[in-house]
Each structure stands twice: as C-alpha cells, then as structure tokens.
Amino acid sequence: MATLVQAAPAAKVAEEGKIKRFDVHQIIQHAGLMLSFTVLVLTGLPLKFASLDISQWWIGVWGGIDVTRATHHFAAWIMLAVCLYHIGYLVYTVFIQKKPFPVKIIPTPGDAIQLFHEVSYYLGFRKAKPLVDRFNWKEKFDYWAIFWGMPVMFISGFIMMYPILATRVLPAWALPAALVAHSDEAMLALVWIVMIHIFFNHFSPSSFPMNTSIFTGKVSAAKYREEHPLEYERITQTAAEEGPTGAEPPEDTY
C-alpha cells in the first residue's frame, strides 16, 4: 500500500487531503442538538397523536406517560444547554476571536439567486449547479429555521411546563396558544429535518450514504471543491501564497 501512495502523482495526494470545515465546538453542538432533538421527537410525538394505538404502545415501551414526560422535559433542558453553548460560542468567536466565518451564515440576496439557480439546474434549465461559498442556502435555511424554532419551542414549552407561573405573568390565552405553537412548530421541524436535511445529507449523490463532515469536522478536498468551490478557491489560493502547507487551511478561514 505504501508504495502505491508513493507512486501516486503529487496532485492526486493533495486531492485526497482533508480540509477542516468544523471545529470541535460545532461538532459537539450538532451532536447535542441531534440527540436531544431525537429524544424530544420520540417522547413528543405520542403526545400529539395520543389516540393512535402505536402511541399507546410506544408510551408503554418508555414505561408510562410520566416517564415519557420527564424524559421530554430532561431532553428540553439539554437542548437549551446546547443552544446557550452556541450563543456563548458565537459571542466568543465573533467578538473576541473575531473569526469571520459565523458572519457568513447571514443570508444575502445571493442566496435567493442561488436557490433559483439550483432549482433551475434540477429542472434542466441550467447546465451546472450554482457556485457556493462557505454555506449553501440549505445550510443557512437549516440554521435560521432552528434559530427561529428554538425560541418558539422553548417559550411555548416552558409555558406548558410551568403553567401556573406562566399565567401569573402572561395573559390567559398564552397557555392554549403555546400548545398550538409548540405542536405545529415541532411538526415543521420534524418534517423539514426528515425531508430536506436527511435527504440532502444522506441521499444526494455527493453525500450518499452519509455526509460525515459534521461528525469528523473534515471534508475531502475534492468534495470541498465540488460543494463549496468559492471557498475552496480562496483557501487554496491563500495556502499557495503562504507556501506549501498542505491541505490544512489557515486558522482564520473558517
């Protein structure tokens, strides 16, 4: 094997090199969010669809409604902790470390054009996919959907978790409205994650069977060039200017 690698052209080796895309904090945040979300869905769905036989069975698997409810509450606190961790991380990276990348998640008019071009490509009106920088529109949409969804879920969830306290400070309608908001927003998040997030990160040709970048933090250079060509170009150019430092981009590019 060693001889094979040595025999390969130098350009090919660089192609197989990995580019760091996420740091350890981002990996932890995604994992925490994913796990707490899964538990919340598993314990929340039987409450929304209480009349179904499968819900009755599933509640029995957990060991009763009290256990299911307690687990839902526990997972909610974990999710809140992950979100606070993310807020702290944002403040630290943007204002103290002054890294440029978190700012790149902010949507721009270019994202709408990118979406339009991407769907045009899918429909066959354009020959190639749009060129993407650090984040594509789907990644931005996922992020901001969560950014909107989390306060909705936390506020409505905690109103229902502490209804007596909540109605001391809030008007009476807050309680039934919280149930509506919590239930619908949860369905939105679940359907979006299952339909769009899972599809593009597991079933799109470049990701199948799984896009592992959010778990390892690394993406192969070839894939990076395909999926984030604009950022790839910038990384490799900077790297070339600073000398042959391998595929690792300089610290401040992500």
Partner 1 sequence: MKKLTLFFVFGFAFVIALLVVSTGEARALDENSCLSCHGTEGFSKTNQAGQTVSLYVDVSKVNVSAHRYIDCTTCHSDDPHNVATPLTKLSLAEKCGTCHEYEYKLHLQSIHGQQLALGNPDVATCVDCHSPDPNPHSVIRTLEYNAPAYKKNIADTCAVCHNDEALMVDYGIVEKVYESYLRSFHGKAIDLGTYEPGALDEATCTNCHGSHDVKSVTDPGSPVAGMANLAVTCEQCHTGAGSQFAAGFLGHREASSDNIAPVHYTEIIFRIILISVIAFGAIVVVTAIVRFSINRWRK
Q: Which residues of the shown chain bind partner 1 in the complex (CB under 8 A)?
A: 46-47, 50-51, 55-56, 59-60, 64-66, 68, 115, 118-119, 121-124, 145, 163-164, 167-168, 170-177, 179-181, 184-185, 187-188, 191-192, 195-196, 199-200, 204-205
Shortest separation between residue 148's beta carbon and partner 1, angstroms: 9
Backbone angle region of 98, left / alpha / beta, with phi > 0 → left and psi within -120 to 50 → alpha: left
Shortest separation between residue 117's beta carbon and partner 1, angstroms: 12
Measure the CA–CA gap between 37 and 39, rounded to whole angstroms: 5
In this complex, which beta carbon is closest to partner 1, that of residue 14 or of residue 160? 160
In this complex, which beta carbon is closest to partner 1, that of residue 35 or of residue 65? 65
In this complex, which beta carbon is closest to partner 1, that of residue 89 or of residue 141? 141
What are the structure tokens assigned to 124, written together? Answer: 């066959």
What are the structure tokens assigned to 239, written together? Answer: 């790297």
Shortest separation between residue 61's beta carbon and partner 1, angstroms: 12
In this complex, which beta carbon is closest to partner 1, that of residue 63 or of residue 110? 63
Measure the CA–CA gap between 11 and 247, rounded to whole angstroms: 11
Shortest separation between residue 182's beta carbon and partner 1, angstroms: 10
What's phi and psi for 163, nearest 5 deg?
-65, -35
- In the block, which residue shows the tokens 């902010």? 106
What are the structure tokens assigned to 25, written together? Answer: 């904090």
3-state secondary structure of 188: helix
What type of residue is 174? A
Shortest separation between residue 160's beta carbon and partner 1, angstroms: 8
